[in-house]
Amino acid sequence: MKKYLSMLLVGVTALVAVSAAQAGAIDDAVKRGTLKVGMDPTYMPFEMTNKRGEIIGFEVDILKAMSKAMGVKLELVSTGYDGIIPALMTDKFDMIGSGMTLTQERNLRLNFSEPFIVVGQTLLIRKELEGTIKSYKDLNTADYRITSKLGTTGEMVARKMISKAQYHGYDNEQEAVLDVVNGKADAFIYDAPYNVVAVTKVGAGKLVFLDKPFTYEPLAFGLKKGDYDSLNFINNFLHQIHEDGTYDRIHDKWFKDTAWLKDME
């Protein structure tokens, strides 16, 4: 009997130790009093830096609402997009909130929440190509030069779906768009919400926006594999804000009202 109780005690102790070791990101954030989110603030209107040096945007406001629901402060950890997954794995922050597309390839490395928005890849082309380029298929020849931000689905699409074109990627969206504005590239491939803003803000009169998305891309929050408690909280939070009107208010602020553009000038 004593031997049985001793074995049972060892088993319970081990189980408690494993449970403690597997505490999720949300639990850790609550205990710490701060939710740390990795983000590359260069993706209008999801996350970007205004003229006062503040990180603002659609996804930022969703994260602010999430941290408020948790009763903690929000800390945005600025991280280059190409290094954001390794940074999560080395505990630089609790989760990724950086306009990340839920792809099968990334899903092998991360757990994702339910999507908070669905976007798709679109094109910004040189004004001179209006009427000649009507879809991404027209660019799939060595005669054209295309660009996008490195490490994004824009790059993946460029390499897979427009593989015959000459490709050059950049570390940020602005440089890539300016390549097209300045005639160094023929087209920029990126998410529709960003291109809606960029065609007016960066390329007025010099770019044409082909606004029909040619991919399906759900954006979601990324967590370490196995963190199901945190996923449960985040998914329930997303359901709640969709039902209580919070999501619609945030969405309209960034996608229907353009007043925020003044903060970027």
Residue 235, token pair as written in the block: 């998914």
SS (H, E, C) 89-106: HCCCCCEECCCCECCHHH
Q: For the chain, what are the domain ranges?
A: 25-118+218-260, 121-215
Residue with the bigger pLDDT between 224 and 263: it is 224
- Selected from 3.30.930.10, 3.30.360.10, 3.40.190.10, 3.40.50.11540, the CATH number assigned to the domain covering 25-118+218-260 reads 3.40.190.10
Looking at residue 204, its pLDDT comes to 75
For residues 231 and 114, give the distance between their C-alpha atoms in angstroms, rounded to a whole number. Answer: 8
Question: Quick one: pLDDT band at residue 17, thresholds 50, 70, 90?
Answer: very low
Looking at residue 201, its pLDDT comes to 81
Question: Quick one: pLDDT band at residue 256, thresholds 50, 70, 90?
Answer: confident
Question: Quick one: pLDDT band at residue 20, thresholds 50, 70, 90?
Answer: very low
Evaluate if pTM is beyond 0.95: no
For residues 60 and 238, give the distance between their C-alpha atoms in angstroms, rounded to a whole number. Answer: 14
121-215 belongs to which homologous superfamily? Periplasmic binding protein-like II (3.40.190.10)
Spatial CA neighbour of 220 closest among 236, 233, 234 = 234
3-state secondary structure of 249: helix
Q: Is the pLDDT of residue 164 over 80?
A: yes
Q: Is the pLDDT of residue 237 over 50?
A: yes
What's the pLDDT tens digit per position in 177-195? Answer: 999 999 999 999 999 989 9
For residues 208 and 195, give the distance between their C-alpha atoms in angstroms, rounded to a whole number. Answer: 10
Looking at residue 132, its pLDDT comes to 97
For residues 114 and 70, give the distance between their C-alpha atoms in angstroms, rounded to a whole number. Answer: 18
